[in-house]
Amino acid sequence: MKRTPRPDTLITHAGRTPGDYFGFVNPPVYQGSTVLFPDVAAYKRGDQRYRYGRRGSPTLEALENAISAMEGAAGTVLEPSGLSAIAVALLSCLSSGDNVLVVDTAYKPTRHFCDTILRRMGISTTYYDPLIGADIARLIDGNTRAIFLESPGSLTFEIQDVPAITAVARERGITTIMDNTWATSLYFRPLEHGVDLSLSAATKYIGGHSDIMLGTISADAEHWRALHETHGAMGQHVGPDVAYLGQRGLRTMAVRLRQHHASGLKVAGWLETRPEVERVLHPGLESFPGHALWKRDFTGASGLFSIVMQPGPQEAVAAFIDGLDYFGIGASWGGYESLAVPFDPTSSRTATRWNAAGPAIRLHIGLEDPDDLIADLESGLERWRQAGGGG
């Protein structure tokens, strides 16, 4: 029997079956809707491996199988975006009349889906403090069917006690769903921490090059059937070119993430020494309140974190960011390039309160030389002060 491969080995080999493709290393891009059957009997039986483009192809399967291996999951479905992964995961376990507990620091469009589509379907959402831990038990009602987690929290990086929450959920027979986009399956394995459905915006680090939109949902054996059924009934499908780019990105994710981890920590540590910066929200820093939990459960950090500035005007934030040479201004992250965006989470929190005196900026540290990024940020802080920012 083969030894259990370590993560770097698994990510290089999982889902690859060159023998099926004349020895070519990567799966071909199967473009297809119709799949032909040899005769009427086979068509009627419908048990052929591939039956229709929407229901799967070797290109899609190669990525699904690789992700399942990385996640330790019974199965994985691909979705056209991270947000559609969130929607399908929630719909796979909720029905009219149910209640779902959603972490207050969830990605903002997750809240929007709950507050619009789920509400219209008669499903109520209760937002909870990301630091709630085992006290989540107090929020569980007779109709609570699912708990949605995202750790670290979007924009503000609170670390949840995932095992404490999933232990309560398992006791009560409640399904848990986790958005694991930030850590990826390399740095946090949700199913090993008791989560039932692990999802990811593969748009970010799996794609890794800012050139695709893609989502994944992986399930344990108990939840796989319901997930697969919901995914299929909703007609969810990812094109073969995108799936191909997803599996290509995946192969180098381990080396890319190591660099994001190291550069991110280096830049975060430097920012922490700057008087203009009031706080650095990076779980890998010892000063961060969630650091101990992060150290217990995660094996690394990716390149995304935030800073809270000393008090200062919005013009100073713009002067800081606009003049940066290597940081683009834009949504999404997880590509090879650095990004900087201002944010204010006040309007997307209801169970907790965001109280920072100064403005906040989210940074994605890409694969540039971190010393060039630090020099770039140093000039930015100079502009911040000249424009009236504190520090």
Ligand X SMILES: *Cc1c(COP(=O)(O)O)cnc(C)c1O
> Residue numbers of the site for ligand X (CB under 6 A)?
81-83, 107, 150, 154, 179, 181, 201, 203, 213, 215, 332
Pick from 4, 61, 11, 5: nearest CA to 257: 11
Q: For residue 214, what is the enclosing H or E element?
A: none
CB of 150 to ligand X, least distance (A): 6
CB of 351 to ligand X, least distance (A): 18
Complex with ligand X: residue 125 or 310, whichever CB lies closer: 125
CB of 317 to ligand X, least distance (A): 21
Residue nearest to ligand X (CB): 82
Complex with ligand X: residue 81 or 252, whichever CB lies closer: 81
Q: Burial, 32: exposed, middle or buried (Cβ in 10 Å; 0-12, 13-18, 19+)?
A: middle
CB of 213 to ligand X, least distance (A): 5
Complex with ligand X: residue 83 or 140, whichever CB lies closer: 83
Cα–Cα distance, 25 to 164 (Å, whole number): 42
For every residue of 54-101, DSSP letters joined together read GG--HHHHHHHHHHHHHHT-SEEEEESSHHHHHHHHHHTT--TT-EEE
Which residue in the block uniquely carries the two structure tokens 């996640």? 71
Complex with ligand X: residue 203 or 338, whichever CB lies closer: 203
CB of 331 to ligand X, least distance (A): 8
CB of 290 to ligand X, least distance (A): 16
Q: Which two tokens stand for residue 376?
A: 């770039």
Q: What is the DSSP letter of 34?
A: B
The helix/strand count (H/E) of the chain reads as 14, 12
Cα–Cα distance, 209 to 244 (Å, whole number): 13
For 377, residues 6+ apart whose C-beta sits below 8 A from its C-beta are 267, 270, 271, 324
Q: Active-site residue numbers?
A: 54, 107, 179, 204
Classified as helix, coil or strand, 177 is strand
Complex with ligand X: residue 21 or 354, whichever CB lies closer: 354
Complex with ligand X: residue 108 or 295, whichever CB lies closer: 108
Pick from 90, 132, 139: nearest CA to 115: 90
Pick from 309, 303, 295, 315: nearest CA to 390: 309
Which residue in the block uniquely carries the two structure tokens 């503000």? 156
